């Protein structure tokens, strides 16, 4: 099977870089990156700096793109935002999703182009949102996939638990058409769901876990007839791992087989410019990082106590980084502050260190964008090495997809 890729919400190219590190044969035939509300499109410019300008590198709101105009591809990838995916009934015209919710653009591409495989990334709270109807949003996504003829596997992955330099928890979704040879292979394993979790499934091959038994697995069916019914009625407690095959959902909580993480001290720069050192606002930093209880008043006039625990100040360089956010480097509670081992003084991370935390090459974002936006791009990015590991196993799946179809032999991959 030809390794053709469509990359959505491409940012500065983390998915593409990860796949190409796994195999340079991955051919990205179309990519879209658009930063809403921004006149300067720095992330897109960075993407083109590394991968070239092309009519198929598109800087346009994805909702305005004619989905049928996108080139055919066998793998769709993208990190999409966690939003409200609910739909509303519209009488005889059917149902409508909320305007501006990017999941519906993904769904439209799946319907128009029908790629054989899909990898998506999102924040881990997707599995539990919204708060008043836990699991509904993910149930809507699974229902969409099921209606379009896909089976799905998911896993919440903390990158540091598998050897990387950041304690970043994200849910990854792997979907595949039920007409693929890979689906036929999984069908045999689905009779014993624990086999998919332990050793047979996509994530089991890529990110090892402690073995589970069938007693650990919860099972349910997608029984709602349409997305409006899911919106109104579906709620479910999804575990951090799971799969859906032919509309049957199996889920459980799994424990990783831990790999030694990359520590901050192994990736920090030497001879860092003095502009990154904290010369002022130390009391403000200590307040932001410290524990606090503050009385606040809601819009309705109700008084309540806002409280939060402390964050290490400074951050230990003998651990992986915390989750990096788009606010990195600003005077913000979530910003990393380390004690430089050369000088003994407190400082911010450099842009290069931020790139290393996410697994990009040094100065990947040094392409003319403001330094503040370099941090923003890294806060928005994913851990590239995770995609490389997934791509390595996808290479095998794609190779066997061709061989198994030719031989009509659906033995285990």
Are both 80 and 186 inside the same structural domain? Answer: yes
The whole-angstrom separation of Cα 397 and Cα 413 is 7
Domains: count for the chain: 2
Query: Does some domain include residue 413?
Result: no
pTM over 0.85: yes
Instruction: Say what the pLDDT of residue 314 is.
Output: 97
Query: Which residues of the chain fall below pLDDT 70?
Result: 90-96, 99, 225, 403-413
Are both 232 and 124 inside the same structural domain? Answer: yes
Are both 365 and 389 inside the same structural domain? Answer: no
Are both 369 and 388 inside the same structural domain? Answer: no
Q: Which of 45, 51, 46 is nearest to 17 (CA)?
A: 51
Q: Which of 220, 160, 173 is nearest to 359 (CA)?
A: 160
Instruction: Say what the pLDDT of residue 1 is.
Output: 81
pLDDT in tens, 121-130: 999 999 999 9
Query: Does some domain include residue 296?
Result: yes
Where in the sequence is the domain holding 296, given as residue range(s)? 264-380
Direct distance between the N- and C-terminal alpha carbons of the chain, in angstroms, rounded to an integer? 15
Q: Considering the candidates 6, 46, 49, 82, report the single residue annotated as catalytic.
A: 82
Query: Does some domain include residue 157?
Result: yes
Are both 214 and 350 inside the same structural domain? Answer: no
Q: Which of 210, 73, 118, 168 is nearest to 386 (CA)?
A: 168
Are both 332 and 390 inside the same structural domain? Answer: no
377 given a catalytic annotation: no
Query: Does some domain include residue 339?
Result: yes
The whole-angstrom separation of Cα 227 and Cα 331 is 43
Query: Does some domain include residue 168?
Result: yes
For 176-245, the DSSP string reads EETTSHHHHHHHHHTTSHHHIIIIISHHHHHS-B----GGG-EEEE---SSHHHHHHH------SEEEEE
Instruction: Say what the pLDDT of residue 407 is.
Output: 47
Are both 42 and 168 inside the same structural domain? Answer: yes
Are both 241 and 292 inside the same structural domain? Answer: no
pLDDT in tens, 229-277: 999 999 999 999 999 999 999 999 999 999 999 999 999 999 999 999 9
Query: Does some domain include residue 60?
Result: yes
**CATH number, position 337:** 3.90.120
Query: Does some domain include residue 412?
Result: no
**CATH number, position 113:** 3.40.50.150
Are both 180 and 279 inside the same structural domain? Answer: no
Query: Does some domain include residue 212?
Result: yes
Are both 329 and 392 inside the same structural domain? Answer: no
| Contact indicator for 274, 347 with CB cutoff of 8 Å | no
Are both 246 and 298 inside the same structural domain? Answer: no
The whole-angstrom separation of Cα 369 and Cα 316 is 29
Instruction: Say what the pLDDT of residue 223 is.
Output: 77
Are both 268 and 234 inside the same structural domain? Answer: no
Instruction: Say what the pLDDT of residue 413 is.
Output: 54
Instruction: Say what the pLDDT of residue 298 is.
Output: 86
The whole-angstrom separation of Cα 351 and Cα 325 is 13
């Amino acid at each position: 099977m030809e390794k053709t890729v469509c990359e959505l919400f491409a940012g500065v190219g983390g998915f593409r870089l990860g796949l190409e590190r796994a195999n340079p044969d991955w051919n990205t035939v179309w990519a879209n990156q658009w930063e809403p509300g921004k006149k300067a499109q720095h992330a897109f410019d960075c993407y083109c700096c590394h991968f070239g300008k092309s009519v198929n590198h598109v800087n346009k709101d994805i909702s305005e793109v004619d989905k049928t105009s996108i080139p055919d591809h066998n793998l769709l990838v993208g990190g999409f935002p966690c939003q409200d995916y609910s739909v509303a009934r519209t009488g005889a015209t059917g149902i409508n999703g909320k305007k501006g919710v990017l999941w519906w653009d993904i769904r439209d591409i799946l319907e128009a182009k029908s790629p054989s495989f899909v990898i998506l990334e999102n924040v881990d709270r997707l599995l539990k949102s919204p708060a008043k109807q836990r699991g509904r949003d993910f149930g809507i996504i699974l229902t969409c996939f099921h209606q379009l003829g896909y089976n799905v596997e998911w896993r919440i992955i903390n990158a540091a638990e598998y050897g990387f330099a950041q304690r970043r928890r994200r849910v990854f979704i792997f979907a595949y058409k039920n007409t693929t040879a890979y689906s036929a292979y999984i069908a045999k394993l689905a009779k014993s769901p624990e086999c998919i979790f332990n050793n047979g499934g996509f994530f089991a091959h890529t990110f090892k876990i402690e073995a589970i038994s069938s007693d650990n697995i919860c099972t349910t069916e997608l029984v709602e007839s349409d997305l409006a019914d899911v919106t109104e009625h579906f709620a479910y407690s999804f575990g951090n791992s799971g799969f859906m095959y032919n509309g049957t959902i199996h889920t459980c909580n799994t424990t990783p087989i831990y790999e030694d993480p990359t520590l901050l001290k192994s990736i920090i720069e030497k001879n860092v410019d003095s502009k990154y050192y904290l010369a002022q606002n130390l009391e403000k930093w200590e307040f932001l990082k410290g524990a606090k209880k503050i009385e606040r008043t809601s819009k309705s006039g109700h008084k309540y106590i806002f409280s939060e625990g402390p964050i290490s100040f400074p951050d230990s360089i003998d651990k992986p980084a915390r989750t990096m956010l788009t606010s990195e480097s600003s005077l913000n509670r979530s910003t990393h502050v380390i004690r430089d081992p050369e000088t003994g003084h407190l400082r911010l991370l450099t842009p290069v260190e931020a790139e290393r935390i996410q697994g990009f090459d040094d100065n990947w974002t040094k392409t003319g964008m403001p330094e503040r936006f370099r941090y923003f791009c890294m806060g928005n990015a994913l851990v590239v090495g995770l995609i490389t590991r997934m791509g390595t196993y996808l290479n095998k799946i794609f190779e066997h997809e061709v061989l198994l179809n030719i031989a009509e032999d659906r033995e285990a991959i």
